[in-house]
Structure 1
Amino acid sequence: MLRMFSTVDGQVRQISKPENGSWLALADPTDVELATVSQETGIDLADLRAPLDDEERSRVDVEDDYTMIIVDIPTVEERSGRDWYETIPLSIIVTKTMIITVCMQDTPVLHPFMEGTIRGFNTFMRSRFILQILYRNATMYLRYLRIIDRETDKLELRLRHSMQNREILMLLELSKTLVYFNTSLKSNEIVMEKLMTLTRIKQYPEDEDLLEDVITENKQAIEMANIYSGVLANMTDAFASIVSNNLNNVMRIFTMISITLSIPTLIFSMYGMNFQQGMIGMPLSDSKWGFLVIVLLACVLAGAVIWFLTRSRLFK
């Protein structure tokens, strides 16, 4: 999808043809759209395709006629009725007359710019536009990290009552997401440091506060990702120990039942093979109450075993 925007009388308007000071937004573009933009702007087609690879690394490439900035942005993917978070690359290409953004999907990071809800946004102020995108990107990371934190709290409450494979897998998925976020944020931080020393992109004095805000928000997102990763790692270890302890408790109960049942089984098996009238050496073989007495004796011995096992240190 190719959309073009330009600031007209302080308002962001969608236009049909590219012009000086405009913004070209490519989201999940077709080959025809990429070829069209390449011909009209002079940007190498390979550079336009670069952010369409989800494994593309964050970097800054300086060419003769343009500068390409690639950063990782957060995105939401729905799987099995749940939202999962990952990162994808976003390319910001700055030429002498316009700015082009390329992404493999329609990202919510850029929606406020298209809707004109970003304060002080103008398409022709390219350096400020880059900082505003980076600031919006950092705030999106913070927003998703807070959502992940709330989901972790809900998952912890569920794990206290039910420890099924589904909850454990969700915990591991959130942990993996935080690793991706942390790696992407650190890569974006390197890009920001390089942008500060890049002379090609003009820095306006009034943008210094915005640049400081971008760096601060990104560092805060890195710290939050590290904290949440540590919390999830500790939670995973704790619940793994709990699961192991619960398994030991179940095995202890089964062992007690097995030992208890072995006593009457032994008695009944001996009398079942040798319980004949007049059998020498078999007590109660001649008594009409012999069977009942043996059953009661087996129950008493089984009860005694249960009493002993419940009070033994080995089964506490």
Structure 2
Amino acid sequence: MLKMFKTVEGQVESIEQPQEDCWLCLCQPTDVELATVSQETGVDLADLRAPLDDEERSRVDVEDDYTMIIVDIPTVEERSGRDWYETIPFSIIVTENMIITVCMQDTPILHPFMEGKIRGFNTFMRSRFILQMLYRNATTYLRYLRIIDRESDKLELKLRHSMQNREILMLLELSKTLVYFTTSLKSNEIVMEKLNTLSRIKQYEEDADLLEDVITENKQAIEMANIYSQVLANMTDAFASIVSNNLNNVMRIFTIISITLAVPTLIFSMYGMNFQDGMLGMPFSDSPWGFVIVVVSSMVLAGVVTWFLTRSRLFK
């Protein structure tokens, strides 16, 4: 989808044709839209396609007529009724008279710009526009990290009374997401450091504080991602041990029951043997109360064995 915007008297307006100092927004673009933008702006078609590759790395490329900035942005994907977080490439291409953004998905990072909700946003102030988008990107990372932290707290409560693998697998998925976030944020940090020294893009005096805020927010996101990643790793190991310990407790109970039942089983199996006439029979075999005596004796002996096993150090 191709959308075009331009700031007119402080208001963001949608336009139908590319104009000077406008913003071309490509979200989930078609081949026809990419070819049209490439023909009208002079941007290489390969550069326009670059952020459509999931594996594209964050970088800054300086060409003759334009500068391309690629960063990783967070996105939400719904799977099995749950929200999972990942990162995708996002491209900002700055030419002499316009700015172009390309993304494989419709990202909520750009919605406030389209709706004119960003204070001080002007399409002709391209360097500030870049920093404003990078700032929104960093704050979006922070917001998703807080959501992930709350999700891990909910999983922690479930794992306290759970012996299933589902919650632990979800923790592992969150841990993997944090690894992706950390890697993407560090790559974005390198891009921001290069932007700080890039003289090709015009810098406004007011942008110095904004750039500092962007770098600060990005570093804070990196720090939070590292902390949450360590917490999740420790939590995963701890609850894996808890689940294993719960399983051991169950096996302990089953072992005690098995040994206890083995005692009367042994006695009854011996009394079930056939003996020839005239040979020495089993005790109480000639007594009319023999069956009752054997059953009661077996139950008493089984109770003694159970009492001993439950207090034995081997089964604690």
How does the TM-score come out when normalised to structure 1?
A: 0.98
CA RMSD after TM alignment? 1.1
Contact 1:278 1:286 in 2 (8 A): no
Could you say which residue in structure 1 is the equivalent of 2:144?
144
Provide Cα deviations, 1:80-116, integer angstroms capped at 9, x if missing partner: 0110000000000000000000000100010000000
Secondary structure at the counterpart of residue 105 of structure 2: coil
- Asked if 1:291 is matched to 2:295, the reply is no
C-alpha distance in structure 1 between counterparts of 2:264 and 2:109, whole Å: 72
Could you say which residue in structure 1 is the equivalent of 2:99?
99
The one-letter code sitting in structure 1 at the alignment partner of 2:132 is Q
- Once the two structures are TM-superposed, the CA of residue 138 in structure 1 deviates from its matched residue by 0.1
Secondary structure at the counterpart of residue 121 of structure 2: coil
Could you say which residue in structure 2 is the equivalent of 1:19?
19
Alignment of 1:1-316 (within 5 A): 1-274=1-274, 280-316=280-316
- Once the two structures are TM-superposed, the CA of residue 292 in structure 1 deviates from its matched residue by 1.1
Secondary structure at the counterpart of residue 314 of structure 1: helix
Q: Which sits farther off after the overlay, 275-284 or 181-190? A: 275-284
Secondary structure at the counterpart of residue 93 of structure 2: strand
- Once the two structures are TM-superposed, the CA of residue 275 in structure 1 deviates from its matched residue by 6.6
Distance 1:238 1:178, change over 3 A: same
Distance 1:205 1:276, change over 3 A: farther
Q: How many residues matched?
A: 316
Q: Which sits farther off after the overlay, 269-278 or 90-99? A: 269-278
Provide Cα deviations, 1:214-238, integer angstroms capped at 9, x if missing partner: 0000000000000000000000110
- Once the two structures are TM-superposed, the CA of residue 281 in structure 1 deviates from its matched residue by 3.9
C-alpha distance in structure 1 between counterparts of 2:43 and 2:17, whole Å: 17
Secondary structure at the counterpart of residue 120 of structure 2: coil
Secondary structure at the counterpart of residue 92 of structure 2: strand
- Once the two structures are TM-superposed, the CA of residue 30 in structure 1 deviates from its matched residue by 0.3
C-alpha distance in structure 2 between counterparts of 1:263 and 1:315, whole Å: 18
- Once the two structures are TM-superposed, the CA of residue 274 in structure 1 deviates from its matched residue by 3.5
C-alpha distance in structure 2 between counterparts of 1:176 and 1:163, whole Å: 22
Secondary structure at the counterpart of residue 212 of structure 1: helix
Contact 1:71 1:89 in 2 (8 A): yes
Contact 1:278 1:285 in 2 (8 A): no
The one-letter code sitting in structure 2 at the alignment partner of 1:232 is L
The one-letter code sitting in structure 1 at the alignment partner of 2:49 is R
Q: Which sits farther off after the overlay, 159-168 or 187-196? A: 159-168
Provide Cα deviations, 1:23-64, integer angstroms capped at 9, x if missing partner: 000000000000000000000000000000011000000000
The one-letter code sitting in structure 2 at the alignment partner of 1:48 is L
Contact 1:3 1:24 in 2 (8 A): yes
Contact 1:22 1:123 in 2 (8 A): yes
Contact 2:162 2:243 in 1 (8 A): no
Contact 1:67 1:94 in 2 (8 A): yes
Contact 2:52 2:104 in 1 (8 A): yes
Provide Cα deviations, 1:174-216, integer angstroms capped at 9, x if missing partner: 0000000000000000000000111101111111110110000
Secondary structure at the counterpart of residue 70 of structure 1: strand
C-alpha distance in structure 2 between counterparts of 1:277 and 1:268, whole Å: 20
The one-letter code sitting in structure 2 at the alignment partner of 1:68 is M
Secondary structure at the counterpart of residue 149 of structure 2: helix
Provide Cα deviations, 1:110-156, integer angstroms capped at 9, x if missing partner: 00000000000000100000000000000000000000001110110
Contact 1:277 1:286 in 2 (8 A): no
Contact 2:163 2:246 in 1 (8 A): no
Q: Which 5+ residue runs of structure 2 have no aligned equivalent?
A: none
Secondary structure at the counterpart of residue 246 of structure 1: helix
The one-letter code sitting in structure 2 at the alignment partner of 1:260 is T
C-alpha distance in structure 2 between counterparts of 1:185 and 1:173, whole Å: 18
C-alpha distance in structure 2 between counterparts of 1:201 and 1:122, whole Å: 15
Secondary structure at the counterpart of residue 99 of structure 1: strand
Contact 1:276 1:285 in 2 (8 A): no
Secondary structure at the counterpart of residue 273 of structure 2: helix
- Once the two structures are TM-superposed, the CA of residue 69 in structure 1 deviates from its matched residue by 0.1
Secondary structure at the counterpart of residue 124 of structure 1: coil
The one-letter code sitting in structure 1 at the alignment partner of 2:58 is S
Contact 1:279 1:285 in 2 (8 A): no
Distance 1:171 1:275, change over 3 A: farther
